[in-house]
């Protein structure tokens, strides 16, 4: 029980940092960064894309490190990267240092995502794993919520955004120490997967999984980069300074994201196909609302809430779905899905930045909503499989 508590608590702290300020901090504070560094929409899209690229690379490095050194090493490396990156942003004198800090911080999410699944599988009893992983995953929503509340506090206490990022960095350092102490260094390395194992993931039944992962990466990457900025640029919410209004987006995003803990239960009631369709329709509505009603309190909260539910539930679905498709390759199949998600993250923001510069933000958001809605239409119940067919291997 002591091991369970240690791993769950340390894991929750790590995911709160990695997927809270380290992952969404740039989009959350983009209005302040625009004012301080005179960042254009195109430059914002490029910085966001580069940060997602470091997340993508860190995912691959994490898989290799788990294989060769065990899960403790990539998790601690991720928290050190978060500490250095968040501190660099807090002290950034120019856009270049800002971008480097954002990229370092974003890498922490790639290093920290999959190792906890591996550690739980190999250290905890089977009966304890679901509860531990639920606590760990809840750290994401908590981290986003707390980051949003800290950003909102700027409007009421008068300190600058750099102080908040210094607090983020201190939290990351604490998470690094907690995980260094909590995770046993006696967990044996998993060993590299042979090339044929990677080829086994290329089946016809896995195509919907990979398309959902890429669509999710694109749409959410665009939302977390530009949604708060959209609210601010349109004058903000009534009763709040415009730059503080964007924080409401991420506070609601994190709060509603806690409903992601119900993913497995909802899936058992309505099935995987209908859950995926509902989530993508909700994502499309979320993005369309932020385009059409960025100054409405109810509109912003509904938009952010739908996006938070979408992100947390899709993240859980990718894990559940990949494990059901490839029960003999749970870690490898999940890593593949996350790499494809990362590719979507990289592609989305720069394309969106270009479209917004050329045609305006409304066109950009509506185009993104169309992608999410098109994904929902594609996901007909008949094409969703939860078991791979070897005959369909590519």
Give the residue-averaged pLDDT of 218-222: 95
pLDDT digits (tens, 9 = 90+) for 126-149: 666 556 666 677 788 889 999 999
Q: Could you give phi then psi for residue 393, rounded to 5 degrees?
A: -60, 140
Bridge partners (DSSP) of residue 203 are 393
Give the residue-averaged pLDDT of 375-387: 80
Give the residue-averaged pLDDT of 242-257: 88
- Dist. CA 246–CA 152, nearest whole Å: 8
pLDDT at 33: 94
Percentage with pLDDT > 70 across the chain? 86
pLDDT at 126: 60
Give the residue-averaged pLDDT of 164-178: 94
Compute how many other C-beta atoms are within 10 angstroms of the C-beta atom of residue 65.
22
pLDDT digits (tens, 9 = 90+) for 46-60: 999 999 899 999 988
Kindly report the CATH number assigned to the domain that includes residue 202.
1.20.1250.20
- Dist. CA 147–CA 28, nearest whole Å: 8
Of the pLDDT bands very low, low, confident and very high (cuts 50, 70, 90), residue 371 is very high
Q: Could you give phi then psi for residue 119, rounded to 5 degrees?
A: -65, -45
286 and 300 Cβ atoms separated by less than 8 Å: no
Give the residue-averaged pLDDT of 206-225: 93
The pair of three-digit structure tokens given for residue 41, joined into one six-digit string:
């929409």
pLDDT at 8: 74
pLDDT at 80: 96
Helical (H) or strand (E) element with 177: helix 161-182
- Count: domains in the chain: 1
Of the pLDDT bands very low, low, confident and very high (cuts 50, 70, 90), residue 338 is confident
- Give the side-chain half-sphere CA count within 13 A for 263: 28
Q: Could you give phi then psi for residue 263, rounded to 5 degrees?
A: -55, -55
pLDDT at 394: 38
- Dist. CA 178–CA 70, nearest whole Å: 17
- Dist. CA 282–CA 259, nearest whole Å: 14
The pair of three-digit structure tokens given for residue 124, joined into one six-digit string:
């905890």
Does 194 have pLDDT greater than 60? Answer: no
pLDDT at 171: 94
Helix axes 361-378 and 272-292, enclosed angle (nearest 10): 170
Of the pLDDT bands very low, low, confident and very high (cuts 50, 70, 90), residue 3 is low
Q: 114-118, 254-258, 309-313 — which is least confidently predicted?
A: 114-118
142 and 171 Cβ atoms separated by less than 8 Å: no
Q: Which domain holds residue 110?
A: 2-392
> Exposed, middle or buried, 39 (CB in 10 Å: 0-12/13-18/19+)?
buried
C-alpha distances out from residue 141 to 16, 162, 259, 342, 372, Å: 7, 23, 9, 19, 22
């Amino acid at each position: 029980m002591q091991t369970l508590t240690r791993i769950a608590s340390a894991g929750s702290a790590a995911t709160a940092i990695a997927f809270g300020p380290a992952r969404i901090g740039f989009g959350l504070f983009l209005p302040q960064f625009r004012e301080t560094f005179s960042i254009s929409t195109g430059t914002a899209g490029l910085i966001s894309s580069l940060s997602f690229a470091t997340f993508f690379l860190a995912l691959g490095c994490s898989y290799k490190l788990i294989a060769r050194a065990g899960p403790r090493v990539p998790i601690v490396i991720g928290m050190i990267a978060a500490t250095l990156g968040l501190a660099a942003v807090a002290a950034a004198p120019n856009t270049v240092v800002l971008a480097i800090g954002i990229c370092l911080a974003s890498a922490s999410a790639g290093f920290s995502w999959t190792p906890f699944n591996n550690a739980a599988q190999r250290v905890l009893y089977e009966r304890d794993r679901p509860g531990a992983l639920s606590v760990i995953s809840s750290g994401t929503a908590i981290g986003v919520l707390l980051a949003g509340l800290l950003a909102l506090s700027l409007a009421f206490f008068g300190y600058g955004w750099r102080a908040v990022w210094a607090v983020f960095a201190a939290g990351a350092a604490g998470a690094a120490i907690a995980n260094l102490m909590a995770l046993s260094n006696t967990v044996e390395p998993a060993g590299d997967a042979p090339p044929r194992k990677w080829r086994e993931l290329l089946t016809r039944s896995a195509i919907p999984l990979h398309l959902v992962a890429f669509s999710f990466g694109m749409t959410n990457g665009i939302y977390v980069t530009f949604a708060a900025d959209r609210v601010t640029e349109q004058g903000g919410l009534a009763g709040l300074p415009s730059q503080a209004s964007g924080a409401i987006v991420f506070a609601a995003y994190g709060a509603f994201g806690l409903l992601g803990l119900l993913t497995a239960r909802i899936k058992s009631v309505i099935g995987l196909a209908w859950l995926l369709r509902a989530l993508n329709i909700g994502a499309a509505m979320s993005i369309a609302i932020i385009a059409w009603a960025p100054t409405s309190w109810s509109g912003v909260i509904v938009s952010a809430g739908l996006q938070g539910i979408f992100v947390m539930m899709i993240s859980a679905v990718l894990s559940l779905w990949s494990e059901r498709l490839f029960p003999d390759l749970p870690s490898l199949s999940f890593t593949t899905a996350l790499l494809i998600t990362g590719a979507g993250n990289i592609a989305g923001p720069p394309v969106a930045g270009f479209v917004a510069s050329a045609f305006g933000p409304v066109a950009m958001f509506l185009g993104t909503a169309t992608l999410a809605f098109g994904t929902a239409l594609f996901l007909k119940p008949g094409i969703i499989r939860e078991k791979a067919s070897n005959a369909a291997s590519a």
